[in-house]
Chain A
Amino acid sequence: MDRLVRWVAPIVVFVVALLVWEWLVIRLDVPVWIVPAPSRIGATLVRDWPLLVSALGVTLRIALQALAAATILGVGIAFVFVQSRALEASLLPYVILLQVTPVVAIAPLIIIWVDDPEAALVICATIVALFPMISNTTTGLKSVDAGLLDLFRLHRASRWQVLLRLRVPSALPYFFSGLKVSAGLALIGAVVAEFVAGTGGTASGLAYQILQAGLQLNFPRMFAALLLIAVAGVSFFAATSGLAWLFLRRWHAGAGDR
């Protein structure tokens, strides 16, 4: 029953919302340049499918590269932080600085500095996605059961044994919750960076299509592109949640609650 509700209820809400939307647009005779009807957006999605899908591919490629870079960098930096308090103290302020600086403010610089437009966008998206990985993984590596740490010390475990056999498994739940947040941020970062880059970017991602459609007053296409971004975001969340579930379901109490 619970399961059924969890899957069916959101779908019902979605369908009802679309019907109400369609009905309101027809009833109130809303012009298409203000809000297009869902049927119109659907038709555009089908008609412009080749264009939109290749744009989605570009945005996804940037977001996935950024997520991979953020994961590798984030975990690496977290490992360094846990090994040395001095290093953590000296680098943490700059990590926070990177996090609090809006990406729209630094994206133009990065786009000027980096020749390859796609690489520039990946760097921007990585900056957006990096902080949750560092912060969560560091917290995880430090949240070790004090008794287990005593046990490892009693048996004269090396620093390496403590890291691999105790800190890394303890950090997994934190790592995965960081990954869920970072996956969404990588996509947002990719889209925002594309917006900032405009024609200076790869000139082929979803954000670029939204910009172009806006200039051409092609609102149904704007909405269709927006829909694809939303679907991509939800898929990222579902994929990372699934990954977390796969790794943690056996032992971690929170793994089942998505």
Chain B
Amino acid sequence: MQHNKAVHQASPSSSQTRNNPVPALQVHRVSHTYPSGTVALGTVDLDVEAGEFVSIIGPSGCGKSTLLRLIAGLEAPTTGAISRELARPSKSPIAFVFQQPTLMPWTSILANVRLPLDLEGVAARTSEPLARQALARVGIEDFAQALPRELSGGMQMRASIARALVTEPSLLLMDEPFGALDEITRARLDRELLAVWAEQKLTAVFVTHSLHEAVFLSNRVLVMTPRPGQIADTLAVNEPYPRDESFRLSTRFADLCAQLSHMLIAAGSA
């Protein structure tokens, strides 16, 4: 339907972006230790190019969520430094999609999606059409006036993604966003996410615990060791975009998943 169309339209521009090697994000010898002394994240070095889709995979508790929060600036690193060269100058260059939809239950989907703009002080007359566009991009424009609880889990997640896109961020950070969804919905949202990523020329960092999802989505998959997590290995997925279900069904996909699985075992994660 609509979503597949977007994938095809978007493909040329996204590959252009990826040929331009500007590190959008540099994580330099960053680690994080809680005041209690618990080491949440070992020392990590990571460069992400503008327009790249990078996934981080690792066992639970390895610090992949912490790494994402550090990149977002929600936590300060204990050691090291993070620099972000973000192309689009906007008040909110970074968007974050949480494990849960994290919507305000008391207000409409439209008001939820508009929230980041409201917080920036954008007038309603400007923010409302932008929010409607973002809803249309994820295919739930008909539910603008609905309350979050009236929507299914998958649709709530779409609203959450629409909210992340509404500020036109350059860097999209996602923390296992589809982890709580069923396999069918997850595969569909993976495809839609790729379409939006290509269309918006986003730089994406995606935390997941699914090998298949990581391989399907990413240019690069980073494998982390168990706690305290460090980056053990990297899998490059040299498969052109747009990717669709035929990639998921190919032997190449199966080989890449097997390689990734071996990397996880070697890292002591599986």
Among B55-63, B100-108, B187-195, B198-206, the one that faces the other chain is B100-108
B119 located at the interface, meaning its Cβ lies under 8 Å from any Cβ of chain A in the complex = yes
- Counting chain A residues whose Cβ lies within 8 A of the other chain, the interface size class is 20 to 34
The answer to whether A154 touches B74, judged by C-beta atoms less than 8 angstroms apart, is yes
B92 contacts A155, C-beta separation under 8 Å: yes
Q: Are A155 and B116 in contact (CB under 8 A)?
A: yes
Q: How large is the interface on B (under 10, 10 to 19, 20 to 34, 35 or more residues)?
A: 20 to 34
Contact A251 B96 (CB under 8 A): no
Q: Nearest residue in B to A151 (C-beta to C-beta)? A: B102
**Bound CA–CA A152/B104 (angstroms):** 11
Known: A154-B92, A156-B119. A251 touches B106 (CB 8 A): yes
Question: A155-B116, A155-B120, A169-B106 are known contacts; what are 8 more A-B pairs with Cβ within 8 Å?
Answer: A151-B102, A151-B116, A153-B74, A154-B72, A154-B94, A155-B119, A156-B91, A165-B115
A157 and B119 form a contact (CB under 8 A): yes
A134 vs B107: C-alpha distance when bound (angstroms) = 25
Question: Cβ of B98 < 8 Å from any Cβ of A?
Answer: yes
Known contacts A155-B116, A156-B91, A156-B119; is-contact A150 B96 (Cβ 8 Å): yes
Report chain B residues within 8 Å CB of A145.
102
Q: Is A252 an interface residue (CB 8 A)?
A: yes
A selection of 6 A-B contacts at a CB cut-off of 8 Å is A154-B73, A154-B94, A155-B91, A156-B91, A250-B106, A251-B147
Contact digits for A222-258, partner B, Cβ 8 Å, 1 yes 0 no: 0000000000000000000000000000111100000
A148 within 8 A of B: yes
Does A31 make an interface contact (CB < 8 A)? no
| Known contacts A250-B147, A251-B147, A251-B149; A152/B119 CB under 8 A | yes
Chain A residue numbers with a CB within 8 Å of B95 are 154
Q: Among A148, A154, A251, which residue has the most Cβ atoms of chain B within 10 A?
A: A154
The listed residue with most A CB atoms (<10 A of its CB), out of B69, B94, B98, is B98
Contacts of B100 in A (CB 8 A): 147
How far is it, in angstroms, between the C-alpha of A166 and the C-alpha of B104 when the chains are bound? 8
Nearest opposing residue in chain A for B103, CB measure = A148
Picked from A147, A150, A151, A250, the residue with its CB within 8 Å of the CB of B115 is A151
Q: Give, as a whole number of angstroms, the nearest-CB distance from A33 to chain B.
A: 56
